Chain A
Amino acid sequence: MTRIGVYVCHCGLNIAGVVDVEKVVEYAKGLPDVVVTKHYTYMCSEPGQRMIQDDIKALNLDRIVIATCSPRMHEETFRRAVAEAGLNPYLTEIVNLREQVSWAHTHEPEKATEKAKALVRMGVARARLLEPLEKRKVTVEKSVLVVGGGIAGIQASLDLADAGFKVYLVEKAPSIGGRMSQLDKTFPTLDCSACILTPKMVDVTKHQNITLLTNAEVTNVKGFVGNYEVSILRKPRYVDAERCVGCEICTKACPVKVLDKFNENLSEKRAISIYSPHAVPKIATIDPDYCLRLKYKKGVCGKCQDACEAKAINFEQQTETIQAKVGGIVLAVGSEVFDASRMVELGYGRFKNVISNIEFERISDASGPTGGKILTPKDGKPPETIVFIQCVGSRDKRFHEYCCRVGCMATLKQAILAREKISENVKIYVCFIDMRAFGKGYDEFYRRARDMDIDFIGGLPSEIHSAPDGSLYFDVFDKGTNKLLEMHADLVVLGAGLVPNSDLGNISALFHASRSADGFLLEAHPKLRPLETAMAGIFLAGACQGPKDIPDTVAQASGAAAKAIDLLLSGEIELEPLKAVVDKDLCSGCRICESICPFIAIEIKPEVVNGNERLRAEVIEAMCQGCGLCSSACPTGAIKIQQYSNKQVLTQVEAALEEACAEGGK
């Protein structure tokens, strides 16, 4: 004989403001096997939980139905409370009266109350069939894979390594540093990006717990939380890392000129080169797409080989696959800058003196193509008028609807740098829609820009023209003066936003990490679980989750590292018992479940029965997420999800139809 307790939560006025909770409680009293029914303002609060616990002990309850918010919100809370009172936590049933009733039917309180009654009736029917389950424990590998060696990946790696965990840091480019290493100064303090980043980059190579794999990509991920097996492909540099001393004599010998990606193609480098002035590791790399020897085979060129005193050049170097077992994964793959040539009206790509903000960083940087002098790309002269144009590719339904979150501050910084570096007489204008200076010290930075006679025009131009002499001009209507202004500029800097990496689709597929509508990687919960993906053990750091500036990126990276430490620290983790279970007698080995499982959690294994070999499905328990796809696809009904068996679900359906049938009969 089951003894059920039903508890209805008001959730302040969230539920009680719409649903008549007293009526629901009154109704629940009449349901079979219900021993006690109560309602309370906040069931999740300490007194609310204690009320349930006291009743379990005093009334000997063995099933608990709680009508409250979504189980995603507080199911764990209530299970813990029930377990503390000595009952198996899986004998708790949550009925969602908030997201599915009061919030959905705010304007129909009477109908909402009826729906609440029906849901409680269904919950009680199901509760009777709940089975006690035990969590399973799995050991975890005490190491972490960090994908991406920008500031996010570097910070996460250092935090993890300092905490004593082994870290594999994988970076696609020949050097770590990422986007931040391309920046000149950083807002709002104007400290030099290289000065604060380079020491961290060096720390990475020196840390005994970090294995740094540059020029490498993750190609395969298998396994499950705590036990991921990853394959990492290291592309050849054609330079022996042990021998290269970074003297760059090879670069001087190389005859092939290549556009320098690190300098945003504003300058040239050689086919053999070191990635950037602050590269870590400082090892030369040959670009096989341009190297004459690698393109045209033996006997050609080889000048770098002749020049290298350390004998580090090795044209025979091959790709290498590295296997690693890790407990958790931090994705820190960053973002790209919007390709402003897609906004044709602004002339980027057609007019040389229209540049993007990331190009401005390289022009302003002391290690950039102009040695830190701000000169126009077209004629190499210091500009007399600079105009910044905001929201390029962002807040625009044609391209990206979101705010890029860094454009305003990046422009303020660049405007200030231009004022400091060029002269007091250079005219600087910023055309903007809204100025978003929301962070710590940001609005003060905006004021600093105004102090420096930088002028702000409240409006965006529609198009940019080039005069026959090559100078740029355009019209812009200013909200403040209510005037149409014609502006002439030597240099136009476009505030291009951050966009998802072009290969984020592959990364998302590789790690089973979903993406949100904006194209970035999706966090498990936008407010309460911003550092995790929906896949257990895979964490997010930095701009791959959404556009971010450096302070936010570093904060998220440390957070993701802490989350990973939390996962790995105890050496074992508990897994939810709500998994698929195969009834071997019913399984026909048809492999439908294997093909449909999104978590690769089903293995088909041969089994000998009465001397005949037959195929049988087997669930790899640690990988199964209990999604139920296999169960609904199985033609023989051999797979069930624990706590969601056909009987348990159909009983609920019957309970749902009960009243409807009764009404129909009237």
Chain B
Amino acid sequence: MLREGSELSLVDLMSMAKPNLESREKILAKLRGRELVNCFQCIKCTSGCTALKLLELKPHEIIKLVNLGFVDELPSSDIIWTCVTCLKCVQRCPQKASPYHVIMALRNLAVEREAKVPEGYLKAVSQILETGLAETAQKVVTRKMETVDRECLKLPKIISPKVGFQAVFMKTMEEK
């Protein structure tokens, strides 16, 4: 018995991985439309990808892998976290297949599956939970090499989030 159902009609001989159509549907369900399947591999997204030069992200490969159902290795892979969300691919994709939205869906799937998430992202979330801010107030060095903070600039103190903020925040996140 080699084949059982349509998802087993492909085998990646490099890794012996098989497509998982259920995971593929999960990704498609997270997107607003099914335009992803319209991708005809013009490679514009990868040619212009800001993150490709830094790391190994090839948006056209991600789209093709998801389309064929080779989804499972992606959430645990580092590459989905290297996107810098410049949105160039969204602007220029001739088929509106938008690799950016697929990458975001894969990140969400990674969190759902409790896969490894880069530390920076976890830090950002815990910071928001604590302070309510995506970016905390930092000290700045002026041209005269003086270090200043909000206090010496006589700016008002930053107020901590109200009680219950964390609960509401978590609830909203889960709903999304």
Contacts and interface: CB of A to CB of B under 8 A. Distances in A.
A25 B96 CA distance: 50
A397 B94 contact: yes
Nearest to A477: B46
A303 interface: no
Contacts of B45: 462
A463 interface: yes
Interface string B36-48: 0000111111111
Nearest to A479: B43
Contact of A398 (B48, B52, B94): B94
A462 B48 contact: yes
Interface in B43-89: 43-49, 52-53, 58, 60, 88-89
A459 interface: yes
Nearest to B38: A397
A397 B96 contact: yes
Contacts of B89: 462
A350 to B, nearest CB: 16
B52 to A, nearest CB: 6
Nearest to A390: B42
Interface in A92-140: none
A459 B42 contact: yes
B127 interface: no
B48 A433 contact: no
A583 to B, nearest CB: 53
B92 interface: yes
Given A460-B47, A462-B47, A477-B47, A345 B92 contact: yes
A611 B123 CA distance: 97
Nearest to A432: B42
B126 interface: no
Contact of A434 (B40, B48, B58, B92): B40
Nearest to B35: A397
Interface residues of A, number: 21
Contact of B47 (A395, A396, A398, A484): A484
A484 B92 contact: no
A434 B53 CA distance: 25
B41 A397 contact: no
B95 to A, nearest CB: 6
B53 A460 contact: no
A433 to B, nearest CB: 4
Interface string A435-469: 00000000000000000000000111111000000
B56 to A, nearest CB: 11
A154 interface: no
A336 interface: no
A391 B42 contact: yes
A426 to B, nearest CB: 23
A240 B88 CA distance: 57
B95 A397 contact: yes
Given A477-B52, A477-B58, A477-B60, A462 B44 contact: yes
A434 B94 CA distance: 14
Most buried by A among B41, B91, B92: B92
A459 B40 CA distance: 11
A44 B159 CA distance: 83
A20 interface: no
Nearest to B40: A433
Interface in A394-418: 395-398
Contacts of B46: 459, 477, 484
A484 B43 CA distance: 10
Interface in A537-592: none
Interface in A413-434: 433-434
B44 A461 contact: yes
A458 B60 CA distance: 12
Contacts of B60: 477
A461 B40 contact: no
Contacts of B44: 459-462
A476 interface: yes
A268 interface: no
Nearest to A461: B47
Nearest to B59: A477
A345 B46 CA distance: 15
B94 A391 contact: yes
Contact of A459 (B43, B88, B92, B94): B43
A475 interface: yes
Given A391-B94, A397-B94, A461 B41 contact: no
A430 to B, nearest CB: 14
Interface string B103-137: 00000000000000000000000000000000000
Given A345-B92, A475-B47, A477-B60, A460 B52 contact: no
Contacts of B95: 396-397
A462 B88 contact: yes
A460 B45 CA distance: 9
Interface string A594-607: 00000000000000
Nearest to A458: B43
Contacts of B47: 459-462, 474-477, 484
A460 B95 CA distance: 13
Interface in A460-517: 460-463, 474-479, 484
B41 A463 contact: no
Contacts of A395: 40, 94
A460 B42 contact: yes
A303 to B, nearest CB: 51
A125 B96 CA distance: 51
Interface string A321-361: 00000000000000000000000010000000000000000
B21 to A, nearest CB: 21
B68 to A, nearest CB: 16
A397 B39 CA distance: 11
20 contacts: A345-B48, A396-B94, A397-B94, A433-B40, A459-B42, A459-B43, A459-B47, A460-B44, A461-B44, A462-B45, A462-B48, A462-B49, A463-B48, A463-B92, A477-B43, A477-B46, A477-B47, A479-B43, A484-B47, A484-B53
A-B pairs with the 7 shortest C-beta distances? A462-B48, A459-B43, A396-B94, A477-B46, A433-B42, A462-B47, A477-B47
Given A397-B96, A459-B47, A477-B58, 19 more contacts: A345-B48, A345-B91, A345-B92, A391-B94, A395-B94, A398-B96, A433-B41, A459-B42, A459-B44, A460-B44, A460-B47, A461-B44, A462-B89, A463-B48, A463-B88, A475-B47, A475-B48, A477-B52, A484-B46
Interface of A: 345, 391, 395-398, 433-434, 458-463, 474-479, 484
